[in-house]
Structure 1
Amino acid sequence: MVIPVHDLNPVRRTPWVTYALIAANFVVFLLTPGISGSVTGGSSLAELCHLQAFTDHYALVPRELIHHSMPSLVPTGDVGVGVHGPGCVLGPPAYDKSAELSVFTAMFLHGSWLHLLGNMLFLLIFGNNIEDRMGHVRFLLFYVVCGYAAGYGFALLNADSGQPLIGASGAIAGVLGAYLVLYPRARVWVLVPFLVFLPLRLPAWIVLGFWFVLQAFYSAGQGVAQAGTVAYAAHVVGFVAGMLIALPLRPGTPPPPEPRGLLFGRRARPGW
């Protein structure tokens, strides 16, 4: 897996929406009840119960979205003692949850610092150019539509699952798909793990194409989304949605500038 760190594709305007989305994700993460254990490295049972209750309230649950089958018992956030010892208390939900709205709220929830930072890195590198091409308002709508496409796509493939789905990766996958369509020849600096992290400058079509193939390969054998797992199917659906939406914009998109310097130890040639 390669890690992108920077693209050589300047923008004409400040990507305020991209910055705002990143800021919103950080704020929600830091304000999530019980998330302090993710920051300090250890979680108490009370924190885990609060986090579980918050996640079940605002995360996308495929069974709820597709079948509108709302659970009769949910975590309340309290700690109790049962026959098996201390645990999280279950009780009737004290809220009315909108399964359709949960697709949106789930886009701003993350389970760990690694989950959050990985998503925001991709959004920061590739989101600015898509926002620059689409404009602020259209980019925001595009981001939300891709997130909904990814959420519904995953839910349809896992309609009976009661596991919560969280994260911005479905919407960000749409950004990556649009970038591949609009700027396939843009150069991207990446770190390739090979004994050490090797810096390479690669065309976006290689970086993002490889990412998509990897997600598609994993999605064929893994379709659950819960703590510690990845919803690869949501990535695939979001990526394809982003590509399709961006296709009409391709004819009028100016190509990225040709970089100067060396590429793989050889001077870069036009068209590479």
Structure 2
Amino acid sequence: MLPIRDHLRTRISPVVTYTIIAVNVVVFILEFYLDLTGYLEWFFYEFAITPALIVQGEKLYTLVTAMFMHGGFAHIFFNMLYLYIFGNNVEDSMGSGRFVLFYLVCGLIASLAHIYIDPSSTIPTLGASGAIAGVLGAYMVLYPRERVDALLGYIYVRVPAVVVLLSWFVLQLFSGFLSLGGTGGGVAFFAHIGGFIAGAILIFIFRKRQRD
């Protein structure tokens, strides 16, 4: 089920959401240039997460830099689509300043979940998926009944957000446990799982309190 849009208006301009999208796009354009010049492999090795190195205390900065890198057009397109649809309302719920910290913490927890599952891996891991999964978890907690337009195959449907987001999470769980048998296809499913759970919990800390 692919979400297309929601119908929940924001009270603020989601500048952080748009800025994160812009930064990801700029970095992806840089990757395209580096690919043409033969430096993309170096870039991935230097700034993507390599679990075995993190466990040894090396290249800890990649826990942040990897959140803004992607491995292809489809990778960045679908990540930014989800962030565009759901990020603005989550940012609205806590304010822009808190949203920056929330996004980074969810991304960090997501990466640590992936490293915990496969600490000896020497395969670079990159992408905003873990941080965005945190946004999805938060949105599901905040607005479970909000209607979301989505595509179910070729069929257009309008369903509650909890249906879209919980089905996404269940798919990640199923795929994640399958990947433990070596059939994951290189996708960091446990980063998605860790990020989603983190977002669903942390939203209770980060969201603004209602005043009487």
Aligned to 1:230: 187
Greater helix content: 2
Q: Give the direction of change, closer, same or farther, for the CA distance of 1:224–1:111 in structure 2 (3 Å limit).
A: farther
**Amino acid of the residue matched to residue 11 of structure 1?**
T
The SS at the match of 1:222 is: helix
Q: Give the direction of change, closer, same or farther, for the CA distance of 1:236–1:128 in structure 2 (3 Å limit).
A: same
Q: Structure 2 unaligned segments of length 5 or more: list them.
A: none
Q: CA deviation at 1:152?
A: 0.9
Q: CA deviation at 1:153?
A: 1.1
Aligned to 2:174: 217
Aligned to 1:121: 81
Q: Deviations over 1:139-187 (max 9, x none)?
A: 0100000000001111111100000000000000000000011110111
1:205 pairs with 2:162: yes
Residue from 187, 192, 198 that aligns with 1:241: 198
Does the Cα contact within 8 Å between 2:2 and 2:152 map onto a contact in 1? yes
Q: What is the 5 A alignment of 1:3-152?
A: 3-32=2-31, 33-36=33-36, 47=38, 50-68=39-57, 99-152=59-112
The SS at the match of 1:111 is: coil
Does the Cα contact within 8 Å between 1:171 and 1:238 map onto a contact in 2? yes
Q: Give the direction of change, closer, same or farther, for the CA distance of 1:223–1:103 in structure 2 (3 Å limit).
A: farther
> CA separation in 1, counterparts of 2:206 and 2:72?
35
Task: State the aligned residue count.
Answer: 207
> CA separation in 2, counterparts of 1:67 and 1:160?
10
> CA separation in 1, counterparts of 2:206 and 2:130?
21
> CA separation in 1, counterparts of 2:134 and 2:113?
13
Greater strand content: 1
Task: With a CA cutoff of 8 Å and minimum separation of 6, indicate the structure with the bigger relative contact order.
Answer: 2
> CA separation in 1, counterparts of 2:61 and 2:112?
12
Q: CA deviation at 1:21?
A: 0.2
Q: CA deviation at 1:249?
A: 6.2
**Amino acid of the residue matched to residue 123 of structure 1?**
L
Q: Structure 1 unaligned segments of length 5 or more: list them.
A: 37-45, 69-97, 254-272
TM-score after normalising by structure 1: 0.72
1:186 pairs with 2:146: yes
Aligned to 1:153: 113
Percent identity over the alignment is: 44
Q: Deviations over 1:171-219 (max 9, x none)?
A: 00000000011110111000110xxx11110000100000000001100
**Amino acid of the residue matched to residue 61 of structure 1?**
T
> CA separation in 1, counterparts of 2:50 and 2:109?
15
Aligned to 1:170: 130
> CA separation in 2, counterparts of 1:54 and 1:199?
40
